[in-house]
Structure 1
Amino acid sequence: MRLFLILPLLACLGACSLTPTLERPAAPVPARFAMGATTPASMLPPSALGWRAMFGDPRLQRLIALSLANNRDLRLATLNVEAVQAQANIQRAARLPAVELDATSTRERVLNTDANDRANHEVNQQTGVNVALSAFEIDLFGRVRALSDAALARYLASEQGRDAAQIALVGAVAEAYFAQRLADEQLQLTERTLADWQQSLELARLLKQAEQSSSLDVAQAEGQVALAEADLEARRRAQAQADNALQLLVGSELPGDLPPALPLERQPSVARLPAGLPADLLLSRPDLRQAEQMLVAANADIGAARAAFFPQISLTASFGYASTSLGGLFDPARQVWRFAPQISQPLFQGGRLRAELRLAEVRKSEAVAQYERAIQTAFREVADALAGTATFDHQIEAQMRAVTAAERRLRLSDLRYRAGVDGRLELLDAQRQLHAVQQALLELRRAEITNRVALYKALGGGLHERDITKTAAVAVAH
């Protein structure tokens, strides 16, 4: 029994660690963003703003909820977390001794012969009970602990990767939904435009029959209607493709009981998000935390590679009882034990251990570069979104003035054409200009909303489901 009393002491010897101290590189980006006002300290960060509070369209909320339940990419990311967690648990179990209880009972009939070569049979019985410790490595140089730390870091990285995948999915569904809204509204605008141009064509034909216009006016009107019909087919194709893209992200057929869609100009998404944030707040993004955990894992792998140069000590031991009869099995005189320590020291590996250490160091350098690149990418995503926030409002306002001016020009051109002051060409040009600026306004509205989604996603939003009431409660708590 004294053997098992010293086992915890042997396990405590694994206090030496050859893992280098991890020094995280400084963020290779400016301390603050160039555009955007300073954020008040009491303002709720976008990472805590639930997607239900960000996107107020009930139809979009329903689609996001369906995608979180059905999307295959997110499901694979979740399964990957579970797999890496199991691997981490397996590696952590290696740091503890594996104790087994074995109970055996053997009964056999053997053939014996005497000196006269006469055969006789004898029945033998053996019963045993053992508690065994199987090949437990005493981690003197921290190899097993480093491997366990690396597995834990990779598990944490997989969790962050799953969160990053969810944020990306929420943003992708929102962008696909607004693309679908754009395609639908562009289709409706083209249908209205085609109807107006067909009426204009009928007017040109009537004027031609009354000999108040020439065949040139009719030909121009027919060409314009043909272009509108071709554009209508293109808009129908774009709408079908947008529907397909949204359905793929949702992961199932779109249900028929979805709430009615809201037009782009009435989307109730949050118009302003905190700007001017210090760059170090980007570290709350799941993808950056994932890169950081991968750096921790690569650093721990160096410790395991270093420890492989030193002796590995393992211990196998057992203690129990063995008897030929079950009744006397636990007689103190029947005690048996076995103690088998083993030490293994690498002598010649053909350079394999040095190559493994060098590989671990290179992979750590790669992890550092990936970590820095992730920070730079995140900084640029936020900076680009902030640049859009600072300019889209003025651009949309100017485009709306252009639409108003085009509508006024069309009304005047139509009056002048009917009065015979201007020719048909001036009216056609006014109609085309109005159609073009209206389409451009729709594109701008969608781009402005998409920019808001990009900023929300870039600042780590989209992981929580809080609605407006819950978000307000969180803001008060902060």
Structure 2
Amino acid sequence: MMMPIAHRRSLRQITYALGPLVLSGCINMPSVQLPSFDTGAALQSREALLAGQPALSGSRAPADWWQLFNDSTLSSLESELNLNLDLQSALLRIEESRAQLGLVDAPRRPTLSASSGYSRSAISENSPTHRLGAPTEGQDMWSLGLQANWELDLWGHLRHLSEAAQAELKAAYYGRHALEVSVAADVARNYLLLRGVQAQTSLIEQNLQVARDLVRMADSRERNGIATRFDAAAARADVAGLKARLVQLNHQGDALMNALALLLGKPPRELDERLARASLPLMPSRLPIGVPSELARQRPDILQAEARLQAAVENIGAAKADFYPRISLTGGLGVQAFNLSDLGSWGSRNYSVGPTIYLPIFEGGRLRSQLALSKAHQRHAAVAYQQTVLRAWHEVDDALGTYASELKRHEQLELAVEQNEIALRVAQRSYQQGSESFTSVLVARRNLLASQGALSDCATASALAVVSLYRALGGGWSAQWHEEIVSARQA
């Protein structure tokens, strides 16, 4: 028995604003106790977040969401996702599933085969047939014929197997697109991390120049007897620390470029020239995130889990139908003669036609065990579906929260940088006038460097929050692909 249409539609309508999850209406589907979620607080929180963040909108999330960053290099990298070896493997798994569907569908159709043969034989002089008068001389035998067979599938065993294979094919398609969503997000994430590291590198280089100027100032004041050796030593130590940090950042940048090359199926260092230092992309001014009711359609992993659940239900139907008799119609038509020249004569014809019935009587518990196994697989698939939907809900909520918090943190860090710049200017002026020690200058400069670094990290984290948000929303998934999967199933 197929999963009822209304039930399949209800699976797709599980949304971000989940009410009680209900999985029912299948063939004797075991009762699965799924929790009810209090969605009132979640919806109020989401609406408040949308109201407080002008960039967020309820319009449909774009498939090519990375273009919101308006970064040509990022868009160029995303256009090469087909080079990813994991995605190529996913395409091969689709081909395997399509071939498996062909194998499962084949027994549902009549089969026709042809045969021909020649043999020369003789019987023993001591055989009973010879004693009854059969000659012992060798004789030729020529045969030519057609055989046909068709299983009627009255109880739907083959149909259920076919439906299960079709569902597995759908799952393979959805799995490929789920992987594409993940790879696209990984490319964007590594790219933004690289730009963040490069921004930190530029910041360290700027501060390194300031630190060297402080070394020269401290040396000059020491030579003139205005400052002690401590000031010069402290300034040089500061320069060494910045250089060490620069070495670390350069290594991180190289590792991220290699990670991007691996994601795009390229050898190490091939992308280095394309990924030359550039600024971190600006935050998108508008982030369309869709509406909660579209979440189940936006995430191919949810659709994949649904397809696997449907396949598990169909396998239960196949296991139940296996308890009933199988009836096949068989037939044969051919010719047989001792001489090749006689094959065309009417008297050489032979034929057979009739039903064949297979009825399992004792299988040693195999059929019951197979049914129990199919039911266990169905329960596991139901829990996996529930887990996928629940995880999607949490990922979207966490991503929205992270995005909002990073924007607030960015505002405060901008204020901190502004105040630390003022503090450094005051400390430097006071040191030059002799009213403050060199220690106050170092403290002020280190505070400024720390706040600048935190602001740069926050800018990167804000961009990464956008990536996480669209990954959680299934960014990259398109309704056109859904039609492609439906068409592939029908074909």
Common topology (TM > 0.5): yes
Deviations 1:168-209 (CA, angstroms, capped at 9, x unpaired): 111100000011111111122112212211220121111111
Deviations 1:403-432 (CA, angstroms, capped at 9, x unpaired): 122112111111111111111111111100
| Counterpart check, 1:69 vs 2:82 | yes
Which position in structure 2 is the counterpart of 1:397? 411
Instruction: Please report the RMSD computed on the Cα atoms of aligned residues, expressed in angstroms.
Output: 3.0
Which position in structure 1 is the counterpart of 2:146? 131
SS in 2 for 1:129: strand
Partner residue of 1:49 out of 58, 63, 68: 63
* Deviation, structure 1 residue 261: 5.7
> Which runs of no fewer than 5 residues in structure 2 stay unpaired?
22-36, 481-491
| Counterpart check, 1:94 vs 2:94 | no
SS in 2 for 1:462: coil
Task: Please list, as runs of the form range in 1=range in 2, the aligned pairs for 1:137-216 lying within 5 A after superposition.
Answer: 137-216=151-230
Deviations 1:113-163 (CA, angstroms, capped at 9, x unpaired): 9x9xxxx997855544322124x4331211111111111101110000000
Which position in structure 2 is the counterpart of 1:13? none
Q: 1:182, 1:442 within 8 Å by CA — same for their partners in 2?
A: yes
SS in 2 for 1:400: helix
Partner residue of 1:429 out of 415, 431, 443: 443
The 1:97/1:326 distance shift into structure 2, 3 A limit, reads: same
Which position in structure 1 is the counterpart of 2:29? none
Task: Please list, as runs of the form range in 1=range in 2, the aligned pairs for 1:321-336 lying within 5 A after superposition.
Answer: 321-324=335-338, 329-336=343-350
Structure 2 residue identity aligned to 1:97: P
Task: Please list, as runs of the form range in 1=range in 2, the aligned pairs for 1:71-470 lying within 5 A after superposition.
Answer: 71-102=84-115, 104=116, 106=118, 108=120, 126-134=141-149, 136-253=150-267, 254-255=270-271, 258=274, 262-264=278-280, 266-267=281-282, 270-275=284-289, 277-279=291-293, 281-324=295-338, 329-339=343-353, 341-463=355-477
* Deviation, structure 1 residue 281: 3.0
SS in 1 for 2:352: strand
- The range that moved more, 291-300 or 80-89, is 80-89
* Deviation, structure 1 residue 273: 2.4
Structure 2 residue identity aligned to 1:207: R
The 1:423/1:255 distance shift into structure 2, 3 A limit, reads: closer
- The range that moved more, 233-242 or 358-367, is 233-242
Higher relative contact order (CA 8 A, sep 6+): 1
Tell me, in whole angstroms, the C-alpha distance in 1 between the residues paired with 2:178 and 2:447: 43
Tell me, in whole angstroms, the C-alpha distance in 1 between the residues paired with 2:294 and 2:65: 23
SS in 2 for 1:316: strand
Q: 1:291, 1:370 within 8 Å by CA — same for their partners in 2?
A: yes
TM-score (norm 1): 0.82
SS in 2 for 1:100: strand
* Deviation, structure 1 residue 56: 2.5
SS in 2 for 1:412: helix
Tell me, in whole angstroms, the C-alpha distance in 1 between the residues paired with 2:145 and 2:285: 71
Identical amino acids, percent of aligned pairs: 30
Tell me, in whole angstroms, the C-alpha distance in 1 between the residues paired with 2:260 and 2:219: 44
- The range that moved more, 436-445 or 232-241, is 232-241
* Deviation, structure 1 residue 325: 5.3
Tell me, in whole angstroms, the C-alpha distance in 2 between the residues paired with 1:232 and 1:139: 72
The 1:261/1:321 distance shift into structure 2, 3 A limit, reads: farther
Tell me, in whole angstroms, the C-alpha distance in 2 between the residues paired with 1:208 and 1:154: 78
Tell me, in whole angstroms, the C-alpha distance in 1 between the residues paired with 2:442 and 2:179: 49
Q: 2:261, 2:271 within 8 Å by CA — same for their partners in 1?
A: no
Aligned pairs, number: 436
Deviations 1:221-276 (CA, angstroms, capped at 9, x unpaired): 23222222222222122222222222221210334663766411x44x64432347
Q: 2:396, 2:473 within 8 Å by CA — same for their partners in 1?
A: yes
Which position in structure 2 is the counterpart of 1:10? none
SS in 2 for 1:37: helix
- The range that moved more, 87-96 or 326-335, is 326-335
Q: 1:20, 1:303 within 8 Å by CA — same for their partners in 2?
A: no
The 1:88/1:281 distance shift into structure 2, 3 A limit, reads: same
* Deviation, structure 1 residue 88: 0.9
Tell me, in whole angstroms, the C-alpha distance in 1 between the residues paired with 2:416 and 2:347: 104
Q: 2:66, 2:74 within 8 Å by CA — same for their partners in 1?
A: no
Q: 1:59, 1:261 within 8 Å by CA — same for their partners in 2?
A: no
Tell me, in whole angstroms, the C-alpha distance in 1 between the residues paired with 2:273 and 2:250: 23
> Which runs of no fewer than 5 residues in structure 1 stay unpaired?
1-16, 467-478
TM-score (norm 2): 0.80
Q: 1:302, 1:361 within 8 Å by CA — same for their partners in 2?
A: yes
- The range that moved more, 168-177 or 300-309, is 300-309
Q: 2:296, 2:303 within 8 Å by CA — same for their partners in 1?
A: no
* Deviation, structure 1 residue 291: 0.2
Structure 2 residue identity aligned to 1:452: V
- The range that moved more, 295-304 or 273-282, is 273-282
Tell me, in whole angstroms, the C-alpha distance in 2 between the residues paired with 1:250 and 1:21: 42
Deviations 1:424-473 (CA, angstroms, capped at 9, x unpaired): 1111111001111111111111111111112222222224699xxxxxxx
- The range that moved more, 339-348 or 305-314, is 339-348
* Deviation, structure 1 residue 76: 1.0
Q: 1:110, 1:121 within 8 Å by CA — same for their partners in 2?
A: yes
* Deviation, structure 1 residue 53: 3.2
Q: 1:51, 1:465 within 8 Å by CA — same for their partners in 2?
A: no
Tell me, in whole angstroms, the C-alpha distance in 2 between the residues paired with 1:386 and 1:128: 76
Q: 1:105, 1:128 within 8 Å by CA — same for their partners in 2?
A: yes
Which position in structure 2 is the counterpart of 1:3? none
Which position in structure 2 is the counterpart of 1:470? none
Q: 1:217, 1:424 within 8 Å by CA — same for their partners in 2?
A: yes
SS in 1 for 2:287: coil
Q: 1:107, 1:123 within 8 Å by CA — same for their partners in 2?
A: no
The 1:401/1:415 distance shift into structure 2, 3 A limit, reads: same
Tell me, in whole angstroms, the C-alpha distance in 2 between the residues paired with 1:44 and 1:181: 29
Tell me, in whole angstroms, the C-alpha distance in 2 between the residues paired with 1:417 and 1:325: 121
Structure 2 residue identity aligned to 1:129: L
Structure 1 residue identity aligned to 2:457: E
